[in-house]
Amino acid sequence: MNSRTLGWLAFALFLACIPLANWMIGHVGTVCVPNGPCLVPVAPGLMAPSGVLTVGAALVLRDVVQRCLGLWAGLAAIVLGTGLSALVAPSALVVASGVAFGLSELADCAVYTPLQRRGLVMAVVASSCVGLVVDSVAFLALAFGSLEFLAGQVVGKLWAVVFAVPLIRLLRRVAPA
């Protein structure tokens, strides 16, 4: 698979993560809070809204889009993703979903862009960590008026980043620069 093909695949998967995360938050979990999110365990004694793994994957996929297709494609993915997030989010979560998504992806891009030349894995991990914290704080504050699930959100999204690291290492072969 060449770099451009991988970039477009990552673009499509990135956009697919958004409706999946929005659907999961209301339908998938070991427990669903009345008038709140469905929760999944992300570590012993730690719960998070169920869309966390999907959002964590989106942060990494946007970095892959930028690596393979360029900065403008990465920014286009953010714009399209933010619009899609607001479009598919449940009505009670439209603002929270759209704002959190847009802010977190822009934060990810702002960290990834200068770091990518120093080391791909470091850039992806650092930018994803910044993006997932921004996403978690913004989403929880706007959607639920509480940061009660912040630790679970961060840990859940970190799992997606950890699982992506071996794949990012392989990406260096397909898209070396």
Residue 177 has pLDDT above 70, yes or no: no
Per-residue pLDDT, averaged over 83-100, amounts to 82
What's the pLDDT tens digit per position in 127-147? 999 999 999 999 889 988 889
The Cβ of residue 34 has, within 10 Å, a number of other Cβ atoms equal to: 4
Full-model pTM: 0.84
Q: How far apart are CA 125 and CA 158, in angstroms?
A: 9
Which pLDDT score, from 0 to 100, does residue 129 have? 94
What's the pLDDT tens digit per position in 13-44? 999 998 888 888 888 999 998 877 899 999 99
**What share of residues in the chain are helix, strand, coil (percent, to 5)?**
75, 5, 15
Cβ 139 vs Cβ 59: under 8 Å:
no
What are the structural domain ranges in the chain?
3-174
Where b means 16+ CB within 10 Å and e means fewer, 83-96 reads ebbbebbeeebbeb
Report percent pLDDT > 90 for the chain: 46
By CB atoms closer than 10 A (0-12, 13-18, 19+), residue 166 is exposed
Pull the structure tokens for residue 131. 């993006």
What's the pLDDT tens digit per position in 39-69? 999 999 999 888 888 888 888 899 899 999 9
Which pLDDT score, from 0 to 100, does residue 9 have? 95
Contacts of 73 (CB under 8 A, 6+ apart): 7, 11, 65, 66
Q: Considering only the top CATH level, what class is 3-174?
A: mainly alpha
